Amino acid sequence: MLFKIAAFVFAGFAGTATLFIGKIPFFAKRALAAKMLCSLCFVLAGVCSVAASGFTPYAAFMLGGLLLGALGDFFLDYMERKYFLWGALFFGAGHILYILNFITGFKNSIFVSPYTGQIIGLTAFMAFMSAVVVLLNKLRFRGKFKWMIPYALVLLASFIVSFSRGMVLFVSGDYPMAFCLLGASALFIASDTSLAISMFGTPPHVFFEKMTKWLVNVTYFPAQALFALSIMFYCN
């Protein structure tokens, strides 16, 4: 019981700390330290979830993805983003672990689900609407954005697989696990879309730029926290 409570506490902190941690004097001028504290919390949420429910292959894959995500967080901002591509590589590797886990970690295949085709269509629609937003706002992507295209493809695959798995679980009545996967996959899409605009786009006005940076923080950490909690709810 204690580990379950600890998992929820760490997940809750990871998911909400970005809203207030910048106001703490120590972290006000140490953005990377604040970010890594949140990353540490979603990793600890995963560890506590394992302690509460037991170690399974699903837990191993998820913990691997969480650790790779934490490494990605560090390299993304370390030394003024000098090692940004390393960060993207770690994030991509983490999503590949998530993909493999959601495909192989359950008895029922997602590919026999009637929802998979619909989710692929939804993903294509979201990609189209994102392109429309880019054109309407006259965003001009710059720098190393072209290197992010492979990562974007991995992210979309991760969304399709995790959302499909979440729908299968929801229909079967496994609501806590379904909520974790559906919520996390949707938040990841919102987070990384905002990150791409924030880091590589040339927004037409300052408000749009600040809003995208804010969206990155309030969507990414809750997504990882939900994936961490899914370990506790896992039942094959």
Range(s) of the domain holding residue 200: 2-233
DSSP H or E segment with residue 53: helix 31-53
Look at 192 and 20; give whichever has higher pLDDT.
192
Q: Give the total number of structural domains in the chain.
A: 1
Q: Which pTM was predicted?
A: 0.85
CA distance 135 to 112: 37
At 171, the amino acid letter reads V
Are the C-beta atoms of 181 and 165 separated by less than 8 Å? yes
Reported as a single tens digit per residue, the pLDDT across 112-148 is 666 777 777 777 777 777 677 666 666 666 666 666 7
CA distance 162 to 72: 20
CA distance 144 to 142: 7
Reported as a single tens digit per residue, the pLDDT across 46-96 is 999 999 999 999 999 999 999 999 999 898 877 666 777 888 899 999 999
